[in-house]
């Protein structure tokens, strides 16, 4: 049976604050801080436990091999000799944000009845541009069943940042949906990371119905305010679109297109007068997991299933955001529960709960079971993290050969524990 599975990226042992992500305000503001890789990974594992306890299927991806010595060799240098910015880019643990791993089109949306995944090329940011080979290897392993079709990345220069710029509306996860690709247009101080040509190419490769595929432009003001991906200002689940008033460049036209393609849509919009763009971005209000709760989450009729919002604790600490959310919950809307989680280490590097996960609608029986989580497996992962992940990494530590060796050994220990030696 088809169901939505959230695959979270396990936060890697090289997690550090180098401030590499231009346009990501949290990343820039914490540049040079001392990171806590062990605490970061354990926070991510606790988020997975939290979602399992809600009755939601949960999977994971493992960290990539870092620091990336082959990438440095391709640039004619080594970890020891590289300039500081290149060394930091080689160390990046940003593959933990699985929302940027790929774009996923479930089988009901594709003409061939397969679930299609296209690995994101991430070419806009140097520290992420070398992720896709390792990510592709995991995707081809996890989704090797004939029920899936895993595609290589869209070629440069057409930037693609994966599911973070993609939404899907449907009456149920196992039914045919409307897929919404959100792109940006460059020209400001911060880059637009998702190219329209990349989105259109993915739609063609995934064999989507043009009548049920939308291409909508993200607002320039959102991008220049620090919403580097659409999932910082909008998120969809089943028939609900939860969005900021300033998410799309032409709000009225975007809403009209969406309503025309999917008349059952329920748009829950946060007005800018209630929550400013800076507050929405600082709190990562929309970088939340909007999920369908197995117990319904409260009263429901027809399409009005009960939903929960798994959001960072930073939302509670932002008065305008939390006041608006409490008012929404007091009403009779589709979002019935607020479910805060602590992912502070990820948040400080610019990624909230939604960044950490890739949504895949599939029959769990068709997924390689080594990538599916349960409490016992999360216990084993947490044990490896507690034993092998560094407690802290300061900026100057990135030049340490012994630390680089320890980080690689930590990843190898995790792969051995999970029986994923072919990725080592």
Give SS3 for 270: strand
Catalytic-residue membership of 326: no
Report the alpha-carbon distance of residue 266 to residue 244 in Å, rounded.
Answer: 14
Task: Say what the pLDDT of residue 95 is.
Answer: 97
Report the alpha-carbon distance of residue 147 to residue 377 in Å, rounded.
Answer: 25
User: Which of 295, 382, 339, 377 lies closest to 55, judged by CA?
Assistant: 295
Catalytic-residue membership of 355: yes
Task: Say what the pLDDT of residue 24 is.
Answer: 72
Low-confidence ranges of the chain (pLDDT < 50): 298-304
Residues annotated within a binding site: 18-27, 100, 127-128, 193, 231, 349
Task: Say what the pLDDT of residue 299 is.
Answer: 42
Residues annotated within a binding site for substrate: 18-27, 100, 127-128, 193, 231, 349
Task: Say what the pLDDT of residue 294 is.
Answer: 87
Which position among 4, 131, 161, 179 bears the catalytic label? 161
Which position among 15, 173, 229, 239 bears the catalytic label? 229
Question: The domain at 3-295+303-423 falls in which architecture?
Answer: 5-stranded Propeller (3.75)
Catalytic-residue membership of 239: no
Task: Say what the pLDDT of residue 305 is.
Answer: 53
Report the alpha-carbon distance of residue 15 to residue 91 in Å, rounded.
Answer: 8
């Amino acid at each position: 049976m088809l169901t939505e599975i959230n695959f979270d990226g396990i936060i890697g042992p090289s997690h550090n604050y180098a401030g590499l992500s231009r346009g990501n305000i949290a990343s820039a503001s914490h540049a040079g801080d001392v990171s806590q890789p062990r605490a970061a990974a354990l926070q991510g594992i606790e988020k997975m436990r939290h979602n399992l306890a809600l009755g939601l299927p949960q999977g994971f991806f493992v960290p990539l091999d870092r620091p990336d010595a082959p990438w440095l060799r391709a640039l004619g240098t080594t970890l020891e000799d590289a300039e500081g910015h290149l060394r930091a880019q080689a160390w990046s643990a940003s593959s933990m944000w699985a929302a940027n791993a790929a774009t996923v089109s479930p089988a009901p949306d594709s003409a061939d009845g397969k679930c299609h995944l296209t690995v994101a090329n991430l070419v806009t940011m140097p520290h992420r541009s070398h992720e896709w080979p390792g990510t592709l290897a995991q995707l081809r392993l996890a989704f090797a069943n004939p029920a899936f079709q895993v595609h290589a990345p869209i070629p440069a220069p057409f930037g693609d940042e994966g599911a973070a710029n993609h939404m899907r509306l449907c009456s149920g996860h196992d039914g045919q949906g409307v897929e919404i690709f959100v792109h940006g247009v460059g020209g400001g101080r911060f880059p637009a990371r998702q190219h329209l040509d990349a989105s259109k190419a993915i739609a063609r490769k995934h064999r989507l119905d043009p009548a049920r595929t939308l291409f909508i432009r993200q607002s320039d003001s959102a991008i220049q305010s620090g919403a580097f991906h659409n999932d910082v200002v909008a998120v969809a689940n089943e028939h609900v679109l939860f969005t900021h008033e300033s998410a799309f460049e032409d709000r009225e036209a975007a809403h009209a297109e969406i309503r025309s393609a999917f008349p059952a849509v329920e748009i829950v919009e946060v007005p800018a007068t209630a929550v400013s763009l800076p507050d929405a971005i600082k709190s990562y209000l929309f970088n939340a997991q909007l999920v369908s709760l197995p117990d319904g989450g409260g009263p429901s009729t027809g399409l009005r299933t009960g939903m929960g919002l798994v959001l960072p604790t930073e939302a509670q600490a932002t008065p305008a955001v939390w006041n608006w959310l409490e008012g929404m919950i007091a009403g009779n809307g589709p979002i019935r529960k607020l479910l805060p989680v602590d992912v502070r280490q990820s948040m400080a590097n610019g990624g909230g709960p939604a960044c950490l996960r890739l949504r895949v609608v599939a029959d769990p029986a068709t997924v390689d079971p080594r990538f599916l989580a349960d409490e016992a497996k999360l216990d084993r992962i947490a044990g490896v993290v507690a034993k092998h992940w560094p407690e802290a990494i300061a900026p100057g530590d990135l030049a340490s050969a012994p630390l680089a060796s320890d980080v690689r050994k930590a990843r190898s220990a995790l792969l051995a524990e999970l029986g994923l030696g072919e990725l080592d």
